[in-house]
Amino acid sequence: MSYSLKDIAVALGCEAAGAIDILIEGVREPAEAGPAHLALAMKPQFAETLPKGRARAALLWAGADWQAMGLEAAIFAQRPRFALSGLSQMMDPGPEFAEGVHPTAVIDPSAEIGIGASIGAFTVIGPRAVIGADAMIGPHCFVGAGVHLGEGALLHPQVTLAHGVRIGARFIGHSGARVGADGFSFVTPEKSGAERARETMGDQGETAAQPWSRIHSLGAVRIGDDVEIGANACIDRGTVRDTMIGSGTKIDNLVQVGHNCIIGRDCLLCGQSALAGSVKTGNNCVFGGQTGIADNLLIGDNVITGGGSKVLSNVPSGRVMLGYPATKMDIQTESYKAIRRLPRLLREVAALKKAVSKQGESD
């Protein structure tokens, strides 16, 4: 599919100049762009590579001198990266799933399939499941008993929605995402060594070896509208109440959300982040890659954690955290700088001790 430069500019709400009738078939980085591509020269340093390609038109920042770059036309955006969101949506052909219900799909007679929904090969839809209108379910997916999947949802191949999961409209689940597995809840007849160590900050006492007994997960998972879950991410069901994911939240690949967690609206959980059980977060939080959050903590609105942070205590709203244990970013940075200075400081202290010792001997 191709679009004229004018059509693209109108759709993005941006200005265009030059030969706006040029047809665009795709987008490329400047050095790789051909005549039918829109080059993504969104910053001056990106535009420097335009001569390596053959682009006739480019997406540029506001006020850029497109003619000096040798272009025939250009689109200008006040915030080019945001414009790229709409542009990429226009250019994305999407998954090529067959329409309708594939003959190998297994659908329980009590399931309700919405108008325009498509269900791929070898997918299983369980009893009393409700599939919303225009949902697209790829091959080898599993939708368990009593699941509600909202309209316009997209399940890539091999997504699992366990029994009782309820998901809003326009959900996207990438390959291997698992929603509604049992929570990791086990208990011993007497206090375990782990419990004692936590209470005493290290001493396990005379704890004897004990077997672990499962606490079954009786809750489910509830997910709002416009949520996206990445490949091989896992959202565990609640122990008694439901695990909850707020509308607009985006969850990256290989993220773990433990049982009973409540995630607010419009949060970002980046790759390999892990939230232990019963964490509650506010809205608009951003957890950098490999962030770990200990169980039963409260995280306020608009909290940001840097990559690799390990959060061991409650975090108030608006705070930016970094490190292990996570502290305010400015404090963590200052501490890191101090640690880097320690070897030099120790050498200086050793030299001072040596000088004082020699002074004492001479006296």
d(CA 157, CA 66): 43
Question: Is residue 259 among the annotated active site residues?
Answer: yes
Please list, in sequence order, all residues whose beta carbon lies within 8 angstroms of the beta carbon of residue 299, skipping any fewer than 6 positions away.
Answer: 279, 280, 281, 282, 285, 293, 311, 314, 315
The residue type found at 265 is R
Longest dimension (CA), the chain: 100
d(CA 61, CA 75): 8
Structure tokens belonging to residue 276: 């232990």
Active-site annotation holder among 37, 148, 156, 259: 259
Please check whether residue 285 is in contact with residue 304, taking contact to mean a CB–CB distance below 8 angstroms: yes
Range 359-363, long-range pairs (CB < 8 A, 24+ positions): none
- Find, among 336, 301, 332, the residue nearest to 319 by Cα: 301
Distance of CA 90 to the CA centre of its chain: 22
Residue 251, SS3? strand
Cα 252 to Cα 66, 131, 271, 344: the distances in Å are 36, 24, 5, 41
Q: What positions carry a catalytic annotation?
A: 259
